[in-house]
Structure 1
Amino acid sequence: MSHSPTAEAEVAAELRALRPGLLPRYDAELPGARAAVLTRLWRGLAHEPLPWITGRARGAYGLELRLADGRTLRGPHADPYATHAYVTAVHLERRRYDDPARLTAELAAGAGVGPEAERFAAELGHSVAGLALSRAAADHPDEWPVGVSAGRERDWEWEQRVVDGHPFHPNCRSRPGFSVADQLAYAPEHRSAVRLGTLPVPADECLVTGEWPDELRDGERLLVPVHPWQAGHVLKRPYDEWRTARPLMSLRTLAVPGGLHVKTALSARLTSSVRDISPYSVEAAAVLSDFAAELAAHTSGLLDVTRTLGAVTAGIPDLAALLRESPAGYAGPGERVLPVAALATTRLPRDPEWLAAFTRLALTVGLRLLDLGVALEAHGQNLLIVLAADGSPLRLVYRDLADIRISPARLARHGIAPPALAGRLVTDDETALRRKLFGSLVAGALASVAGSGPALGAALAAAVPDLADTSDLTVLRRGPVPAKALTLMRLSPGTPGDRWTALPHPHVLEPGTVDQ
């Protein structure tokens, strides 16, 4: 059948004008990109509490979804932890769909999905086109030789190898407001160099926490680092050029020479959210940084947390910045640090013993902190691993404390004074704490590295007997595993906060099947 002509053709037309030599590769990558996004969408349809799906059942050849309008959607058995593009097509009644945007548009027309479905369909079309563009420009190997270490000044290279974006989000490469030229200029997978700028703001109009460097001061004014896209599209103000930087996985966080990472405000929707920096995040930054350093001391040397050196906001989320340490500074001689998301692009973690060792390390740290009273958002972007020269996992590094959860009651039980914070980061809700950790770490980082439910189940089975017995581990053993309902969230923009679903425990999965 036909595909999403608007997004795919728009990108092709822009490529023809900007990079005509890339166009054949882009065209060749489109079928794989459609399958990759369709696989992510199928995960949501199969496992999330979407109100217009009234039933799920095993069929003769796969999974059957009963829709509120009486139609049936059929596809393969759904492994919620799989990262390879195993869904090449699904059937709505007798009609075959291999394009996630076309499928979503058809569902919106008859299944009572809601008005947001048409917008979501358009985003999926752009996700397919953006993913094909990312893959077309990629020339990274899928395996790194053991023994090769990355210096601090080149830590961004590990980040730029992550071509496909979020491993489970259908909008993995949807960047509304970004033209092809913008993506080529600013996206990490295109190995771009970005000239960061600064905007001067009177110091008495700014909120500053931590130490703001002299380099970013001009008399009574503070110089706030600004992304050129933000300056041109949102702030619409001229800026002074500052430093050449390399974008990291999050696109709006960039590495500048010397080991500094700069998180800028970038008011564009990337996957699910508009990525600004709230005054609350700036106000909490220094307190969180000091608290995290204290907490890491309780992990027997298995975890370091990058420090936030300084944070500033000019009173609006559209103009703010955070300065952070590079995680590479926590590598010893012969060691290297790379984001966990980058592991999924190599063949190294497919070894079951390696995967079990990594799973044991990650759960030891995550569960220890959760028991103390802090739930990390330990997905593959925030969580980094320190590898020995032979590739074995040694320690973890965590960055970006903006969305952790802190339990004063749990901290008090361990004699730890809670940080002087209020607001969304603070909760004693057991379910919220466990969702935060298990949804990001087990259903996110560990699943993305394992690549499938059975592989993840085997790694958990090998690691869990060695873990300290806590009430949180008991809940994890019992299952199911919480995960953000990413598709439901995009179809419910009027509902604030995260929405959740429950995934079958990977112990119950077999290759090619899933219990419903």
Structure 2
Amino acid sequence: MHRPPTAEAEVADELAAVRPDLVPRYAAALPGARAAVLTRLWRALAHEPLPWVTDRAAGPDGLTLRLSDGRRVHGPQADPYATAAYVDAVRLDEVPYADPARLMTDLGVAHGTAFAAELGHSVASLTLSRAGQPSSEDPEEWPAGDWEWEQRVVDGHPFHPGCRSRPGFSVAEQLAYGPEHGPLVRLGLLPVPAGECLLTGEWPDRLRDGERLLVPVHPWQAEHVLKRPCERGFAAHPLMSLRTLAIPGEAQPHVKTALSARLTSSVRDISVYSIGLSATLSAFGETLAARMDGLLHITRTLGAVAAGSPDLAAVLRQSPQAFATPTSGERVVPVAALATTRLPGSPGWLADFTRLALTAGLRLLEWGVALEAHGQNLLVVLSPTGAPLRLVYRDLADIRVSPARLARHGIPVPELTGRIVTDDERTLRRKLFGSLVAGALAGTAGSAAALRGALETAVRDLPRTPDLVALLEEPLPTKALTLMRLSPVTPGDQWAELPNPLR
């Protein structure tokens, strides 16, 4: 049977045309990228509530999954908090598989073919991302600019099998726009009559043209979605989300653009709903930060605009660097970038950071606010010696707010509507624990053993609230990222329960 070209082969062919010097490095990086994606996929097969996995049996030689059709998949014991690629192959019955896309195809499950294509893109793009890295980068050298920290995150999401999936992006576009490749991206400016826009906050004069607002547009969006040229524009540094960019210059804002492409899991447009709530959420964030005694800062949304569609929208946001004192040598680092840098400091650094993060997250949760505190949204201010001093949080669009808890603590309830508002205890805890503990802290720790050690030390002095008791005693929730990709008709988040690292 003739198989169509794989994403790996297609990227290799394109690379030979646009950057032939990277072809040998691409070939060398391919096995490691396959193992990285396969490790993430094996984690999902081992721990997510996939309906066609009927039994999981651990033994001295690894883990065996029984499928609903009687077949078995065998691999190593699956550490749900491991970030290193440790799965080189698994066996479906007696056949070994090193290619995650081929494994997913041959599993033959519902919607598996489309997900297999995403896995193929993820492997190919991850290989390209690794191949394009300078070999001389020193993990002990601290970057000067905030965007440089962000661009160190080469592998993407530490637990998602689609960690680098970028379907719809050519090799040339990935090299031109992918933050890990270090480009300077020219954003376009599309003029739209102000009367046709939903605008919240303030829109700066430099992004106005008389009665028209100049909406920053990502060049990929302009070419593939809007199909409109943008003659005016400015250059900016892409951050790890790819669609958010840092405007060069001290104290310049970050600009979040609409990007109607599927990256990792989601299409990255900007909903009109989030634009409408942005000013209210920003003011609410300032109120919360003022109550945190300097423990946590929240970046302000300066202005947000939607021009009639999620495909044409933009958000201007305060840079997290505003909360560091550069003259004292402080740095603001996205938590996702911590694993890329060898940080100085005491042996208890991870426990200190974990205590800081849990203190802030649990205090807000007790008040009634559950942060989406994954490694991209959560940043830490480091001292010159690498000690974690305080936190910065950005992007309030996907938090959850409990009016009942706020009222119980005498905090004015903001005028919010829609998915953000909930008093459901399980929903609130899932939001924080899934993003902070199973996400940011686990990704920084890199293994169940390291996460357990940090948590055991960090929780000793924390107030024993009902939320902390749930964190200590119940399974740890995390988004079932693979189940969600295999359930395209099921809206919203789906969840898995991981073994509690403290039990």
| TM-score for the superposition, normalised by structure 2 | 0.97
Q: State the Cα distance separating 1:149 from its structure 2 match.
A: 6.5
**Which residue of the other structure, out of 224, 233, 241, is the alignment partner of 1:242?**
233
- The equivalent of 1:182 in structure 2 is 173
SS at match of 2:416: coil
Alignment match, 1:194: 185
Within 1, Cα distance between the matches of 2:154 and 2:270?
A: 25
Task: Tell me the residue number matched to 1:493.
Answer: 488
Name 2:381's counterpart in structure 1: 386
Q: Which amino acid counterpart does residue 250 of structure 1 have in structure 2?
A: S
Aligned to 1:271: 264
Distance 1:375 1:14 in 2: 44
Deviations 1:210-238 (CA, angstroms, capped at 9, x unpaired): 00011111111111110010000000011
Task: Give the SS at the match of 1:370.
Answer: helix
Distance, in Å, in 2 between the alignment partners of 1:211 and 1:17 is 45
Q: Look up the match of 1:53.
A: 53
Describe how 1:502-513 pairs up with structure 2 within 5 A: 502-508=497-503
Aligned residue among 133, 139, 142 for 1:143: 139
For structure 2, which runs of at least 5 residues remain unmatched after alignment?
none
Residue 511 of structure 1: aligned partner: none
Aligned position for 2:26: 26
Name the Cα RMSD after superposition. 1.5
Of 290, 295, 302, the residue aligned with 1:302 is 295
Name the aligned partner's letter for residue 175 of structure 2.
L
**Partner deviation per Cα, 1:71-98 (whole Å, 9 max, x = no partner):** 0100000000000001111011111001
Q: 2:212 aligned with 1:221, yes or no?
A: yes
Q: In the comparison of the two structures, how many residue pairs are matched?
A: 497
Secondary structure, counterpart of 1:424 in structure 2:
helix
Deviations 1:101-146 (A, max 9, x none): 01000001xxxx21x110100110110010010001112636234x
Report what 2:416 is aligned to. Answer: 421
1:41 paired with 2:41, answer yes
**Partner of residue 124 from structure 1, selected from 119, 125, 133:** 119
Which deviates the most, 397-406 or 135-144?
135-144
CA distance in 1 between counterparts of 2:140 and 2:40 reads 27
Deviations 1:316-360 (A, max 9, x none): 000000000110111012100010000011233897500000000
1:97 maps to 97
**Letter of the structure 2 residue corresponding to residue 499 of structure 1:** Q
Return structure 1 stretches of 4+ with deviation > 6 angstroms: none
Identify the range of structure 1 (49-58 vs 295-304) with the bigger mean alpha-carbon deviation: 295-304
**1:370 matched residue in structure 2:** 365
C-alpha distance in 2, partners of 1:461/1:321? 42
Spell out the pairing of 1:278-289 with structure 2 (5 A cutoff): 278-289=271-282
Find the aligned partners of 2:343 and 2:475 in 1 and give their Cα distance.
28
Residue aligning to 1:354:
349
Verify the 8 A CA contact 1:454 1:507 in the aligned structure 2.
no
Amino acid at match of 1:376: L
TM-score, structure 1 as length reference: 0.94
CA contact (8 A) 2:349 2:387 kept: yes
Residue 235 of structure 2 corresponds to residue 251 of structure 1 = no
* 8 Å Cα contact 2:472/2:502 also seen in 1: no
Match of 1:317 in 2: 310
The residue matched to 2:308 in structure 1 has which SS? coil
> What percent of counterpart residues are identical?
71
Distance 1:78 1:265 in 2: 36
Deviations 1:149-203 (A, max 9, x none): 63xxx21000000000000000001001001011000000000110011111111
Shift of residue 27, structure 1, vs aligned partner: 0.4
Do 1:149 and 1:334's aligned partners in 2 also have CA atoms closer than 8 Å?
no
Mind listing any 5+ residue stretches in structure 1 that lack a counterpart? 509-516
Match of 1:155 among 142, 146, 154: 146
The aligned counterpart of 2:336 is: 341
* Displacement after TM superposition at 1:315 (Å): 1.4
| CA deviation after TM superposition for structure 1 residue 208, in Å | 0.3
Query: Separation in 1 of the partners of 2:265 and 2:344?
Result: 28
